[in-house]
A and B are shown apart, each in its own frame.
Chain A
Amino acid sequence: SQTIHQWPATLVQPVGSPLSLECTVEGTSNPNLYWYRQAAGRGLQLLFYSVGIGQISSEVPQNLSASRPQDRQFILSSKKLLLSDSGFYLCAWGTSWGKLLFGSGTQLSVL
């Protein structure tokens, strides 16, 4: 079956610390992968998307970066977190016809 895993579920980090969020998918090959950020009770902002290994497109300039070291692995990183990086981060896999299968999300609090 097709599944997507995202971890950790919650994370509290001090300002200036590094970040690494990981997402993996199972049951498919060469998936389109996405990182979104969501403010509380609001819509989703696309941060990065990837159509293949090493191929990353950034949607908005920011303090974050993404990498795709393996076909089914997508990582969101930061060298130094800012307060404004707090939010709910979602990894998603684009299935057929543009449908998205979302991970369970990571609630990041930067203090």
Chain B
Amino acid sequence: TQLLEQSPQFLSIQEGENLTVYCNSSSVFSSLQWYRQEPGEGPVLLVTVVTGGEVKKLKRLTFQFGDARKDSSLHITAAQPGDTGLYLCAGVENTGKLIFGQGTTLQVKP
């Protein structure tokens, strides 16, 4: 089973700051997904990146898939308190099985 290392595990920043969350693996995935989860709820899919080097933007969130399809990053510009939550990356194996990272808890203070 492939593993996904997600970092940092916890991040506490002030409103307006920028941040980057990393998701790394030694193995190749067919695609990679990013989810956001609020306490007491299920994760919600934010984006799927499929092509090596692909960059997708979702308002202030920028997602990038590494050229070798082994890693990904999530960059948030000018973070807001509403961005607070648990961010999870998930690599999709060729079998369709998802492998989740351990998650990054983001706290944005007003």
A107 within 8 A of B: yes
Query: A42 CB to closest chain B CB, in angstroms?
Result: 5
Against B, the Cβ 8 Å flags (1 = close, 0 = not) of A90-111 are 1010100111111111010000
Query: In the bound complex, do residue A90 and residue B42 qualify as a contact, i.e. CB atoms below 8 Å apart?
Result: yes
Nearest residue (CB) in A for B41 is: A104
A98-B31, A98-B92, A100-B98 given; A41·B105 CB < 8 A: yes
Query: In the bound complex, do residue B42 and residue A104 qualify as a contact, i.e. CB atoms below 8 Å apart?
Result: yes
Query: In the bound complex, do residue A102 and residue B92 qualify as a contact, i.e. CB atoms below 8 Å apart?
Result: no
Query: In the bound complex, do residue A94 and residue B96 qualify as a contact, i.e. CB atoms below 8 Å apart?
Result: yes
Interface residues contributed by chain B, number (CB under 8 Å):
24
Query: In the bound complex, do residue B103 and residue A42 qualify as a contact, i.e. CB atoms below 8 Å apart?
Result: yes
Against B, the Cβ 8 Å flags (1 = close, 0 = not) of A47-71 are 0010000000000000000000000
A44 within 8 A of B: yes
A27 within 8 A of B: no
Query: In the bound complex, do residue A105 and residue B40 qualify as a contact, i.e. CB atoms below 8 Å apart?
Result: yes
B44 within 8 A of A: yes
Interface residues contributed by chain A, number (CB under 8 Å):
23
Q: Which residues of B contact A42 (CB under 8 A)?
A: 102-103
Q: Which of B1-60 contact A (CB under 8 A)?
A: 6, 30-31, 33, 35, 40-45, 48
Query: In the bound complex, do residue A103 and residue B103 qualify as a contact, i.e. CB atoms below 8 Å apart?
Result: no
Scoring A32, A45, A99 by chain B CB atoms within 10 A of each residue's CB, the highest score goes to A99
Q: Which residues of B contact A43 (CB under 8 A)?
A: 6, 88, 100-103
Query: A58 CB to closest chain B CB, in angstroms?
Result: 13
Q: Which residues of A contact B44 (CB under 8 A)?
A: 102
Residue positions of B touching A, CB distance < 8 A: 6, 30-31, 33, 35, 40-45, 48, 86, 88, 90, 92, 96-98, 100-103, 105
